[in-house]
Amino acid sequence: MLLGSRILWAPTNCRGAPPIFSPNNHAFPTTRLFIPSASLKRHENKEVDDYAQLKDKVENLGISCDSINPGEYTRLMCPKCKGGRLMERSLSLHISGKRNYALWRCFNFECGWAGQILAHNNTTSDGVHQLGRMNSPQVLTEESLKLEPLGDMLAAYFAKRMISKDTLKRNHVMQMAGDQVIIAFTYRWNSMLIGCKYRTLEKRFWQEKGTDKVLYGLDDVIEADEIIIVEGEIDKLSVEEAGYPNCVSVPNGAPQSITSKELLPLEEDTRFSYLWNCKEWLEKASRIVLATDDDLPGQALAEELTRRLGKERCWKVCWPKKDEFSSYKDANEVLVNLGSKALKEAIECAVPYEMQNLN
């Protein structure tokens, strides 16, 4: 049920148009309002079939699903390491609320087995996508990375950028221990620390070595049918201030320009490896809203993303005008200068990607 069945509205006049998003709720209004009861029945049956299939696949891996409640995380015995020396229930298993996929990760330091299964996925023989240890030889923890809660200086920095304490806390934004003031944006998957990006106040960035690139805020879009993608971690936090947690940031900013060449094969498409690493979640979304920066690299990023995600389901946010000649640059600039309501409005006014230049 993709964009083809959606009602498009006049993008030039946002006011009066129906709201696209329901803030604080991952569901968006769609055209799926009147479903004939016969097809509803088929849909229900399909869900039951999917769940049975999914449970079968999980059981085949040696994970016992008896005590599982969909939508929750359950600690179980890991069939790979049997809980290590302590023989603890080290495997965290999650079956989605919609019962269409399962995720797991073993918290035993020496094991770290992780993966996911979609109920119906024919891309691999058994539908299992093993995340393995995501290239990371060590299991990351806040202690091993020497992270600590945000101090006064960075709390003041984020307050100036209109990011609330609640949002910082929910996203586990931390700082590096030591004399230097360095922000640590923690990257998590299934609540587990799998990467970290550091940023100084002078805008110097680097990423924790040996970790795979994934989207920032991944856990916030696992159940989302509609996903907002921004260009930086602070923009992700800003969009959340406007009421949309279903937002992720790319981990490595925007390219300088669009590559005119054909798309590279998966293994060589390193700059966008995060899209392939997060493919399962992105595939499920019926609508993807690109809220990249209003500059040439931002446009190049939006174009590169749509080339890989499919133009027909991509929408684009146009940032409000600053003056006659220019617009605000990104989500955080809009939040700081115009407030969260204006940011929410800008996101609501996203236009279908292919129509963005028709205004």
From candidates 54, 106, 242, 317, binder to Zn ion by CB under 5 A: 106
- Residue 93 binds to Zn ion (criterion: CB under 5 A): no
The separation between the first and the last C-alpha atoms of the chain, rounded to the nearest angstrom, is 27
CB nearer to Zn ion: pick between 106 and 117: 106
Site string for Zn ion, 205-224 (x = CB under 5 A): --------------------
Number of residues in contact with Zn ion under rule CB under 5 A:
7
Binding segment toward Zn ion, per CB under 5 A, in 101-109, 129-137, 180-188, 297-305 = 101-109
Task: Candidates 54, 58, 76, 78: give the one binding Zn ion (CB under 5 A).
Answer: 78
At residue 350, φ and ψ (nearest 5 deg) are -55, 145
> Residue 265: what residue type?
P
Among 6, 26, 80, 308, binds Zn ion (CB under 5 A): 80
Smallest gap from Cβ 60 to Zn ion, in A, equals 17
Closer Cβ to Zn ion, 85 or 204, answer by number: 85
Choice between 100 and 108, CB closer to Zn ion: 108
Considering only residues 315 through 334, tell me which ones interact with Zn ion, judged by CB under 5 A: none
Contact indicator for 196, 138 with CB cutoff of 8 Å = no
Task: Tell me the three-class secondary structure of the chain, residue by residue.
Answer: CCHHHCCCCCCCCCCCCCCCCCCCCCCCCCCCCCCCHHHHHHHHHHHHHHHHHHHHHHHHCCCCCCCCCCCCEEEECCCCCCCCCCCCCCEEEEECCCCCEEEEEECCCCCCCEEEEECCCCCCCCCEEECCCCCCCCCCCCCCCCEECCCHHHHHHHHHCCCCHHHHHHCCEEEECCCCCEEEEEEEECCEEEEEEEEECCCCEEECCCCCCCCECHHHCCCCCEEEEECCHHHHHHHHHCCCCCEEECCCCCCCCCCCCCCCCHHHCHHHHHHHHCHHHHHHCCEEEEECCCCHHHHHHHHHHHHHHCHHHEEECCCCECCCCCECCCHHHHHHHHCHHHHHHHHHCCEEHHHCCCC
Cα(66)–Cα(233) distance, integer angstroms: 39
Whichever of 112 and 245 has its CB closer to Zn ion, that residue is 112
User: Could you tell me the smallest distance in angstroms from the CB atom of residue 74 to Zn ion?
Assistant: 15
Closest to Zn ion by CB, 158 or 189: 189
Among 108, 171, 340, 356, binds Zn ion (CB under 5 A): 108
Q: Which stretch binds Zn ion (CB under 5 A): 81-89, 120-128, 162-170, 183-191?
A: 81-89
Q: Is 252 in the site for Zn ion (CB under 5 A)?
A: no
CB of 190 to Zn ion, least distance (A): 14
Contact (CB, 8 A) for 243 and 23:
yes
Of residues 108 and 171, the one with the C-beta less far from Zn ion = 108
**Selected range binding Zn ion among 29-37, 92-100, 104-112, 300-308, rule: CB under 5 A:** 104-112
The residue from 111, 194, 196, 349 that contacts Zn ion (CB under 5 A) is 111
Q: Please report how many Cα atoms fall inside a 13 Å half-sphere around the Cα of residue 179, on the Cβ side.
A: 0
Residues 16-35 that bind Zn ion (CB under 5 A): none
The Cα–Cα gap between 37 and 358 comes to: 39
310: left (phi over 0), alpha (psi -120 to 50) or beta: left
Minimum CB–partner distance for residue 75 and Zn ion (Å): 12
Pick between residue 115 and residue 253 the one whose CB is nearest to Zn ion: 115
Residue 81 binds Zn ion (CB under 5 A): yes
CB of 77 to Zn ion, least distance (A): 9
Which of these segments, 40-48, 75-83, 138-146, 309-317, binds Zn ion (CB under 5 A)?
75-83
Positions that interact with Zn ion (CB under 5 A):
78, 80-81, 106, 108, 111, 113
